[in-house]
Amino acid sequence: MSTIDLSVEIAGVKWKNPVTVASGTFGSGMEFADLMDLNVLGAVTTKGVASKPWKGNDTIRVVETASGMLNSIGLQNPGIDTFIDRDIPFLEKYDTVKIVNVVGKTIEEYVDVIKALNSQPVDMYEINISCPNVKEGGIAFGQDPRAAADVTKAVKEASEKPVIMKLSPNVTSITEMAKAVEEAGADALSLINTLAGMKIDINRRVFTLANKTGGLSGPAIKPVALRMVYEAAHAVDIPVIGMGGIASAEDAVEFIMAGATAVSVGTANFNNPQVTVEIVDGIREYLEKNGVGSVKELVGII
């Protein structure tokens, strides 16, 4: 067991294993700390943080769908000042890579958050240009390769840490987006964010979500996510963090074989707050059983 190497390296940052959590499903980990050991994670990826507090969308914000769910939280967050005062000291207690997810309505807002975080004990930034639930920022940058490249360049220029660009599946060509941010200087990619979706309450004859549309996540989207991770990973030379419906070690290994260096677990945390522990153990068991010494050997073998 001790001979198995689960570690991976992304943009010069070493993770003890390839498992992180998808932004927005885990807060900064505080609410999960009673239920699991955060030290088990290769990395914690925080809920998106903006330069100022954001109040998010009206309720109803979440609804279950077949093997999935829709959400339209609208990137509610307490702002960078509170995040630095409260969330970072909490995360510092844990031996795991700290990835801060950054959101903004303008390029300047992304840059402001990055500048505030550069001196903080965090390891990487994940730039959210793919949230389907806010009009400004988010998806506005995530569906146009030139706009995505502009954000990437500005963030890279301001950043003293590696930058992961988080891509949306709601695009015509994922490879075009992947290449655009790679050329603009991104150190890594993460994908996919949620797929734009909708649900109608036929008894009340209204959209179930107050925002009308929301982002679909969960096992329902896994085949789509896997295909897109495969395509993106084969289009670029930078590492890819794969996500979208991962709920088991088998799912995680599929994404790794498709080309992901690491994986994020999102909605599955809601179904079982200890699922990431099971996934890390399950990847180790898979490697042992198949005589694979290092998880890195599986990356992109398909």
Q: Which stretch binds another protein (CB under 8 A): 71-79, 103-111, 157-165, 179-187?
A: 71-79
Q: By CB under 8 A, tell whether 219 contacts another protein.
A: yes
The closest alpha carbon to 229, from 131, 300, 288, belongs to 300
Q: Nearest distance from residue 202's CB to another protein, in Å?
A: 13
The closest alpha carbon to 104, from 149, 145, 155, belongs to 155
Cα maximum dimension of the chain: 58
Backbone angles phi, psi at 50, to 5 degrees: -110, 175
Q: By CB under 8 A, tell whether 48 contacts another protein.
A: no
3-state secondary structure of 147: helix
Can you give the length of the chain in residues? 302
Q: What CA–CA distance (Å, rounded) separates 217 from 238?
A: 25
Q: By CB under 8 A, tell whether 138 contacts another protein.
A: no
Residue 207 or residue 270: which is nearer to another protein going by CB? 270
Question: What burial class does residue 126 get, using C-beta atoms within 10 Å of its C-beta: 0-12 exposed, 13-18 middle, 19+ buried?
Answer: buried
Q: Which stretch binds another protein (CB under 8 A): 6-14, 37-45, 53-61, 257-265?
A: 53-61
Q: Nearest distance from residue 214's CB to another protein, in Å?
A: 10
Which one-letter DSSP state was computed for residue 295?
Answer: G
Q: Tell which positions 274-293 bind another protein, by CB under 8 A.
A: 274
Q: Nearest distance from residue 67's CB to another protein, in Å?
A: 5
Q: Tell which positions 27-46 bind another protein, by CB under 8 A.
A: 27, 30-32, 34-35
Q: Nearest distance from residue 252's CB to another protein, in Å?
A: 17
Q: By CB under 8 A, tell whether 267 contacts another protein.
A: yes
- The answer to whether the beta carbons of residues 12 and 290 sit under 8 Å apart is no
Task: State both tokens at 281.
Answer: 């153990």
Q: Mask: binding to another protein, 235-254, rule CB under 8 A, as x and -?
A: --------------------
Q: Which stretch binds another protein (CB under 8 A): 74-82, 89-97, 137-145, 236-244?
A: 74-82
Catalytic residue among 103, 131, 246, 260: 131
Q: Which of 18, 42, 68, 239 binds another protein (CB under 8 A)?
A: 68
Q: Which of 9, 12, 82, 201 binds another protein (CB under 8 A)?
A: 82
Residue 57 or residue 159: which is nearer to another protein going by CB? 57
H-assigned helices in the chain? 80-82, 88-92, 107-117, 139-142, 145-158, 174-183, 222-235, 249-258, 268-271, 275-289
- The answer to whether the beta carbons of residues 258 and 226 sit under 8 Å apart is yes
Sign (positive or negative) of CA dihedral 214, 218, 191, 102:
positive
* 131 included as an active-site residue: yes
Residue 59 or residue 173: which is nearer to another protein going by CB? 59
3-state secondary structure of 234: helix
Q: What CA–CA distance (Å, rounded) separates 42 from 261?
A: 12
Q: By CB under 8 A, tell whether 54 contacts another protein.
A: yes
- The answer to whether the beta carbons of residues 28 and 4 sit under 8 Å apart is no
Residue 62 or residue 292: which is nearer to another protein going by CB? 62
Q: By CB under 8 A, tell whether 104 contacts another protein.
A: no
Q: What CA–CA distance (Å, rounded) separates 266 from 289?
A: 26
Q: By CB under 8 A, tell whether 71 contacts another protein.
A: yes
Residue ranges binding another protein (CB under 8 A): 24-27, 30-32, 34-35, 47, 53-56, 59-64, 66-69, 71, 73, 76, 78-79, 82, 218-219, 267-274
Q: Which residues are catalytic?
A: 131
